[in-house]
């Protein structure tokens, strides 16, 4: 950095100069604390990973005949769960993300200010509804409410594979579970999108408006590009929750060990987390390892999904607008 060795200051100069201060204690403490916290996360994660791998190994080497449901192989057991996990989370995200962006925009740029604050508050509150309650609501209110619509869909649009019959008799299908998941992750995603949208520099909004942009054009020019990393972050948080949600899915879904894209039938693919919740209480021996192995798989799925998201965010980092 500097080519100053030649002019090493004299002893006297060093005394005179107040520039050469001791390393600042606050800075050291603060940056170390931050560093240690970051490392603590790595440590915790390493521990979790070690735990998952160590506890999974017995399942990998075990005879599949000992597993619940007697699958032909380990993958036969895991694969439908992987499918169900990704499928339900995707459905949830596809339904919830546009809505979340819509609500966030409504609050940040459409609603009157007073109303917006109130709405923001209500949405935040909903982020706190425990998953058990979502489960209760899903069983008691949502499933019966959507059943007529499902019947209508199978009768009239049954030729579309997604809506193929026979329709479930209780409405507790993967679509219902995905709706519950969507509703669950909606508040989190909305809250993050809203905060980011509100932070859009006024300068940029004004720039767009002064060019004669309509409100929507202003949003596409200034708000959404600025909020893009935040939207992706929020979506990832939501997706993480949807992928890992346990209780609500376990309570609402009518699962089977199958792979199907049909949305409205009684037999639905199960998710990894819900399957753990359903099977764990009665499992013992190698089946516990099996379930933990599925947990490891979920872990890896999340890893992959997040890597993709990060890649997308970083690809246009120069254009992020973050300073």
Cβ nearer to another protein, comparing 163 with 200 = 200
* Cβ–Cβ under 8 Å, residues 146 and 179: yes
How near is the Cβ of 87 to another protein at its closest, in Å? 16
> Residue 293, Cβ neighbours under 10 Å: how many?
24
User: What is the footprint of another protein within residues 133-152 (CB under 8 A)?
Assistant: 133-134, 136-137, 139-144
Cα gap 282→254, rounded to integer Å = 18
Site for another protein contains 276 (CB under 8 A):
yes
User: What is the footprint of another protein within residues 246-275 (CB under 8 A)?
Assistant: 246-247, 250-251, 253-258, 266-267, 270, 272-273
* Cβ–Cβ under 8 Å, residues 66 and 286: yes
> Residue 80, Cβ neighbours under 10 Å: how many?
22
Cα first-last separation, the chain: 25
Cβ nearer to another protein, comparing 216 with 261 = 216
User: What is the footprint of another protein within residues 210-239 (CB under 8 A)?
Assistant: 210-217, 219, 221-222, 225-226, 228-230, 233-234, 236-237
Collapsed DSSP state (helix, strand, coil) of residue 186: helix
How near is the Cβ of 143 to another protein at its closest, in Å? 6
What's the gap between Cα 128 and its chain centre? 15
How near is the Cβ of 62 to another protein at its closest, in Å? 15
How near is the Cβ of 75 to another protein at its closest, in Å? 18
List the one residue out of 229, 211, 193 whose CA is nearest residue 109.
Answer: 193
Cβ nearer to another protein, comparing 61 with 210 = 210
Cα gap 88→66, rounded to integer Å = 28
Site for another protein contains 283 (CB under 8 A):
yes
Position among 81, 92, 105, 153 found at the interface with another protein (CB under 8 A)? 105
User: What is the footprint of another protein within residues 69-88 (CB under 8 A)?
Assistant: 69
Taking CB under 8 A as the binding criterion, the range among 57-65, 71-79, 156-164, 277-285 that sits at the site for another protein is 277-285
Q: What is the DSSP string of 94-147?
A: HHHHHHHHHHHHIIIIIS-HHHHHHHHHHHHHHTTS-HHHHHHHIIIIIHHHHH
How near is the Cβ of 65 to another protein at its closest, in Å? 14
List the one residue out of 84, 47, 8, 29 whose CA is nearest residue 259.
Answer: 84
Site for another protein contains 187 (CB under 8 A):
yes
User: What is the footprint of another protein within residues 6-45 (CB under 8 A)?
Assistant: 7, 9, 13, 16-21, 23-24, 26-27, 29-31, 33-42, 44-45
How near is the Cβ of 61 to another protein at its closest, in Å? 19
| 19's tokens | 């520039």
């Amino acid at each position: 950095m500097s080519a100053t060795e030649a002019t090493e200051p004299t002893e006297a100069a060093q005394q005179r100069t107040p520039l050469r201060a001791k390393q600042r204690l606050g800075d050291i403490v603060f940056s170390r604390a931050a560093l240690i916290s970051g490392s603590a996360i790595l440590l915790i994660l390493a521990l979790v990973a070690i735990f998952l791998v160590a506890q999974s190994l017995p399942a990998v080497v075990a005879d599949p005949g000992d597993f619940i449901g007697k699958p032909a192989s380990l993958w036969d057991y895991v694969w439908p769960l992987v499918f169900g996990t990704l499928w339900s989370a995707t459905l949830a995200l596809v339904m919830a993300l546009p809505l979340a962006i819509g609500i966030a925009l409504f609050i940040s740029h459409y609603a009157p200010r007073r109303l917006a604050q109130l709405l923001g508050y209500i949405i935040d509150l909903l982020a706190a509804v425990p998953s058990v309650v979502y489960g209760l609501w899903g069983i008691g209110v949502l499933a019966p409410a959507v059943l007529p619509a499902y019947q209508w869909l199978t009768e009239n649009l049954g030729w579309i594979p997604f809506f193929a019959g026979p329709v479930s008799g209780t409405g507790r299908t993967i679509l219902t579970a995905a709706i519950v998941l969507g509703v669950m992750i909606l508040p989190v995603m909305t809250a993050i999108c809203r905060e980011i949208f509100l932070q859009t520099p006024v300068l940029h909004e004004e720039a767009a408006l002064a060019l004669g942009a309509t409100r929507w054009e202003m949003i596409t020019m200034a708000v959404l590009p600025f909020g893009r990393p935040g939207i992706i972050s929020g979506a990832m948080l939501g997706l993480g929750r949807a992928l890992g949600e346990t209780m609500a899915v376990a309570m609402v879904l009518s699962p089977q060990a199958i792979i199907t894209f049909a949305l409205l039938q009684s037999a639905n693919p199960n998710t990894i987390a819900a399957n753990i919740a359903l099977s764990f209480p009665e499992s013992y021996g190698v089946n516990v390892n099996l379930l933990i192995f599925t947990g490891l798989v979920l872990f890896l799925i999340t890893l992959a999904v997040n890597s993709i998201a990060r890649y997308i965010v970083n690809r246009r980092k120069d254009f992020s607008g973050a300073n």
